[in-house]
Amino acid sequence: MTDDFAPDLIRVTDIDRKAMEARLRVAHTNGSLTLDELDERLAVLWQTKTRGDLAALVRDLPPPAPPPPLAKPNHARTTMKVLTAIWLSVSAVNLIIWLMVSMISFDVAYPWFLWPMLPPGAVLGVLWWLGVGRSRS
């Protein structure tokens, strides 16, 4: 393998330069670079041509801090929200049907809508009360 393919000799793009600019600005914000040093390095940055040139700009800086871990999605909370939405939808449809039957017959019909509404609603209420889906921080 020849030196023509050495990683330090690979040409950089404007995207690489913008990423390095962000890293230099973070170093300035953290106090690793003074404002004058930042200005000097930014002036040199846009003249760089290879990865080796870019590496030289940050060789004396501490490595960037790793990004904070992403929060895990709370699947239990999502599940509780979906189940509650389904329960509310079914309960609303049953209530509307009951109201329509009562209005059409000009008589209050037996409140049968309570049977499919109350037991699952009680279970959901207990699960919410117990904290299912609540964050554990």
Query: Where in the chain are the domains?
Result: 3-58, 75-130
Q: How does pLDDT run across 28-61, given as a tens digit for each residue? A: 998 999 999 999 999 999 899 999 999 999 999 9
DSSP codes, 59-84: TTSPPPPPPPPPPPP-HHHHHHHHHH
- Comparing 7 with 55, which gets the higher pLDDT? 55
pTM here is 0.49
Q: How does pLDDT run across 63-108, given as a tens digit for each residue? A: 888 888 888 888 888 999 999 999 999 999 999 999 999 999 999 9
Q: Does pLDDT of 3 surpass 60? A: no
